[in-house]
Amino acid sequence: MIDKRAANVAEAVSEVFDGATIMIGGFGEAGSPIELIHALIDQGASDLTVISNNCGSGEVGLAALLKAGRVSKMICSFPRTANSTVFPDLYRSGRTQLELVPQGTLAERIRAGGAGIPAFYTPTAVGTPLADGKETRRFHDRDCLLESGLTADFTLIKARRADTHGNLVYNKTARNFSPVMAMAGRITIVQAAELVAPGEIDPERVITPEIFVDRVVHVPNPAHESALVAAGATYP
Amino acid sequence: MIDKRAANVAEAVSEVFDGATIMIGGFGEAGSPIELIHALIDQGASDLTVISNNCGSGEVGLAALLKAGRVSKMICSFPRTANSTVFPDLYRSGRTQLELVPQGTLAERIRAGGAGIPAFYTPTAVGTPLADGKETRRFHDRDCLLESGLTADFTLIKARRADTHGNLVYNKTARNFSPVMAMAGRITIVQAAELVAPGEIDPERVITPEIFVDRVVHVPNPAHESALVAAGATYP
Amino acid sequence: MTETGNSIGWSREEMAGRLAEDIPDGSYVNLGIGLPELVARFVPEGRELVYHTENGLLGMGPSPKEGEGDPELINAGKRQVTAKPGASYFHQSDSFAMIRGGHLDLCVLGALQVSRAGDLANWSLGGPDDIPAVGGAMDLVAGVKSIFVITQHCTKDGAPKLVESCTYPLTGLRVVDRVYTDLAVIAVRPEGFQLIELAPGVDFDLVQERTGARLLPVAETTSHV
Amino acid sequence: MTETGNSIGWSREEMAGRLAEDIPDGSYVNLGIGLPELVARFVPEGRELVYHTENGLLGMGPSPKEGEGDPELINAGKRQVTAKPGASYFHQSDSFAMIRGGHLDLCVLGALQVSRAGDLANWSLGGPDDIPAVGGAMDLVAGVKSIFVITQHCTKDGAPKLVESCTYPLTGLRVVDRVYTDLAVIAVRPEGFQLIELAPGVDFDLVQERTGARLLPVAETTSHV
């Protein structure tokens, strides 16, 4: 029978391996699965490629994973943060590579990866340094770039509510990248503030259908990054 | 101030012009905007290119529009119907052209059109007659076809509930093509069984955000195609 | 044993039941129109399967009770269905993202012809007066991890449906993994059609006689699909 | 009149208010981070505008009252906001479908430089030690129907931001329609920068002096953007 629950966050991330590509949901702190990221720090996998819109703040969550030296490459749209020197130091010292992708192209590459579309054309970034080395083709009198789909070995995301089959709903703008990352992860791992039985989420309002989800772990009171940073918290 | 209501279905479709490309929502009878289609028959525009998954049944709705001789080309995935000879007769006599597109490619081409993606690659239909004349390219050891985005001058769809700004929710599997067609229509026209004020649809459960909608008309008790066909109805 | 009809081998229900035995617990499954739909009636004890219908529903349940249906809750065959607890509705592009993106474990389809390389023809007879109609078949065979075909072994005229190469227009190239017929269960291997199991009262020679390509005997160790 | 500072011309609020006058009723508008955000305070009487924030909200409202915010209801600048009646949430790919698909009427952005051809540089100084960060700027300029720039006319060092050609890394080619500065409103025409309106106390020669490319005088009939 179908029951995707993991007993705890440690079990949920136990399969992550060195060298894995990991998508991590969130835009700023909204939707960032901090407890899963902290479990990943404890778990120890290294040489990770992380696909996430930002690079975290302070020294918790994604910034703490970076600071722990586990990330060899970031694929993101906006690595600058107000409250962190973690990524800038790693970048300037060459310890973490950066692939900078426009936010909409990043979102669409992730969706394409999840939807079985190997590549698509977009007008975004034509004529800019981010077009360097990319194939250009003209459609309807407009130059476009060829962009490839992105997939990941694991996706870590945060939901407001999940059922034990993996159907998800999110909270407000914490939805952001999570639905498309859920599609693009080979193993999609979800921390949910509420965990309910199948049927307790109206089928009309499911945002991520269960087919995209592999593990669900109940994290009833997820931390907010800004509160942790304000309190001077660090991890581990 | 924003108020997208049309007084009636006739007003809603009044701008449709000869030679227009029109997307029509629905999979079979589920989601078919019959009242808008009938208004379009009354309105008189001809030489239309219609993009819709099927070709209707009986002699009501889309089948009636076809029978009235208004459609010069159909772009669809499944034009065969159990209860109609309308399209077969038009096709065999050469009066209506057919562009047959696999259902998933059709949906994705419509989404791409609405999302500003001029073209994408897909493995669907490689090696089949529907690949004839299409560019093939290999990604990750797999051949794919280049498919182009589709847009329309007008989109006609049916919603369960709309607000006066154009936010929409649908009913069950009547959702089908409507959300992506709403994105891809230059003018998107909606018939809604309920029409409410902005704020009466939970922002977490809006399926089509208002930005994709141009006109909303209240059709409180929409007809079901199967019931009309069973009753022997024809239109006009 | 007659050449036509179903007087030997498995009935339609038995074919569907035999196929259902091979679907692992927890699978996400799309069932084609017609004979494939029968498979849903035969979920083996203790397994939970989730059915997808490409018109926009995951968690499809059986037909509604008389008078309780909704003409806007239908399956890909345009028949009224129900939604099970844990179901979800989504639009066509999301539905085919599930298919094309490789998220479905299994699709069960009917066939006009299957070639020994696993090519499938199931959407058109290719006649000049035919109304071509493809639906989601090409997307399904291109995207779903495993493709099982369920079909009578021969046409009503007794012509083999398992053939050296398809003569009807193709749905996809090298896509079929297994074929469940009234006579046998057959795997499509790199080496060609391989017998997995015979229906009661049917022998290898009969199946070979009614198959339009060479049939390999049951492998000593049957690898799982 | 001093060369630096804002002792002449429009204040930041006046610039935002002046820009807001040019936004038609019913527009769908994305406001960039910083000075562009100010524009939302100045919706002219009788107009209704709908604000989009690319992290996934249409119908964005003002900042929440003290203590009523939700850290998961934020704008693209990662500041807490509210949702107005008629709002909707959606994921990133849908949000950028709105942008890339040409569904937004207007985007207001800041600038490092704008060229006379309408090229925009607003994401990177291009220094070797800079942490490059682009966010949604390139998607916005590629997809939104009209791009208005709001910026001080010159840098803090007095260098012109309206230039013959950009020296900083580009955000997009030929994308800017209008520029609203502390000194003037300027349209980007095929012929180059054209003055639309001067701030009080500012004359053509002053604006030309502080502009790094030729400025065309006010057109006799000002065409609407």
Asked if B34 and B58 count as a contact pair (C-beta separation under 8 A), the reply is no
- For residue D1, pLDDT beyond 50: no
Contact B187, C87 (CB under 8 A): no
User: D39 burial class (0-12, 13-18, 19+ CB within 10 angstroms)?
Assistant: buried
Alpha carbon distance C24, C94 (integer Å)? 25
Helix C92-100 with B103-115: angle, nearest 10 deg: 120
Average pLDDT for B142-161: 98
What's the average model confidence in pLDDT over C26-48? Answer: 95
ipTM more than 0.90?
yes
Indicate yes or no: CB of C57 within 8 angstroms of CB of B173. Answer: yes
Percent of chain A clearing pLDDT 70 (strictly above): 100
Distance between CA C156 and CA A102 in Å, rounded? 58
Pairing mode, if any, of strands D146-150 and D120-121?
unpaired
Chains B and C touch (3+ CB pairs under 8 A): yes
Question: Global pTM?
Answer: 0.97
Strand partners, A169: A161
Q: How confident is the model at residue C221 (pLDDT cuts 50, 70, 90)?
A: low
Q: Using one digit for the tens of pLDDT, what is the confidence trace for B26-69?
A: 999 999 999 999 999 999 999 999 999 999 999 999 999 999 99
C97: phi then psi, degrees, rounded to nearest 5: -65, -40
Contact D9, D182 (CB under 8 A): yes
In angstroms, the separation between the Cα of residue C55 and the nearest Cα of chain B is: 6
pLDDT at D5 over 70: no
Cβ neighbours for B232, distance < 8 A, ≥ 6 positions apart: none
Nearest to B107 among C53, C71, C96 (CB): C96
Q: In terms of DSSP bridges, do strands A185-196 and A152-163 run parallel, antiparallel, or are they unpaired?
A: parallel
Q: Rounded mean pLDDT of A131-146?
A: 97
Domain range D12-216, its CATH number among 1.10.10.10, 1.10.3260.10, 3.40.50.970, 3.40.1080.10: 3.40.1080.10
**Other CB atoms closer than 10 Å to residue D92's CB: what's the count?**
29
Indicate the pLDDT class of residue B19, thresholds 50, 70 and 90: very high
DSSP string, chain B: ----B-SSHHHHTTT--TT-EEEE--BTTBT--HHHHHHHHHH---SEEEE-SS--STBSHHHHHHHTT-EEEEEES----TT--HHHHHHHTTSSEEEE--HHHHHHHHHHHHHT--EEEE-TTTTSGGGTT--EEEETTEEEEEEE---EEEEEEEEEEEETT--EE--GGG-TTHHHHHHHEEEEEEEEEEEE-TTSS-TTT-SB-GGG--EEEE-SSPPPHHHHHHTT-B--
- A183 interfaces chain C, CB cutoff of 8 Å: yes
* Catalytic (active site) residue D54: yes
The amino acid at residue A111 is R
Is residue D108 within 8 Å of D32, Cβ to Cβ? Answer: yes
pLDDT tier, A80 (very low <50, low <70, confident <90, very high otherwise): confident
User: d(Cα C61, Cα C51) in Å, to the nearest integer?
Assistant: 8
Q: What is the mean pLDDT of chain C?
A: 94
Write the single-letter amino acid at A226: S
Q: What is the pLDDT of residue D220?
A: 63
Q: What is the pLDDT of residue A81?
A: 75
Residue C24's closest chain A neighbor by CA? A1
In tens, the pLDDT along A37-79 reads: 999 999 999 999 999 999 999 999 999 999 999 999 999 999 9
Element (H, E) at D18: helix D12-21
Tokens 């939901």, residue located: A159
- Phi, psi (degrees; rounded to nearest 5) at D209: -60, -35
> With the C-alpha atoms ordered D211, D217, D218, D222, is the resulting torsion angle positive or negative?
negative
Counting CB pairs under 8 A, whether chains A and B reach 3 or more, is: yes
Of B30, B40, B27, give the one whose Cα is nearest residue B189: B40
**Both tokens assigned to C135:** 């639906």
Of the candidates C112, C196, C214, the one whose C-alpha atom is nearest the C-alpha of residue C153 is: C112
Q: pLDDT tens for residues A91-112? A: 999 999 999 999 999 999 999 9
Percent of chain A with pLDDT over 90: 97
Cβ <8 Å between D48 and B203: no
The yes-or-no verdict on residue D224 having pLDDT over 70 is no
Question: Is residue B169 scored above 90 in pLDDT?
Answer: yes
Give which of A105, A110, A117 to mutate to test B binding, by max B Cβ within 10 Å: A117
Q: Measured between alpha carbons, how far is A213 from A186 in angstroms, rounded to an integer?
A: 9
Going by pLDDT thresholds of 50, 70 and 90, the confidence category of residue D3 is very low
Nearest CB partner across the interface for A203, out of C89, C97, C142: C89
Residue boundaries of the structural domains of chain D? 12-216
Give the pLDDT score at D128. 83
| Site from B29, B111, B173 to mutate, C interface, most C CB atoms within 10 angstroms | B173
- CA distance to partner chain B, nearest, from residue C91 (Å): 5
Q: List beta partners, residue C24.
A: none
CB B187 within 8 A of CB B155: yes
Does residue B2 surpass a pLDDT of 70? yes
The pLDDT of D108-123, averaged and rounded, is 98
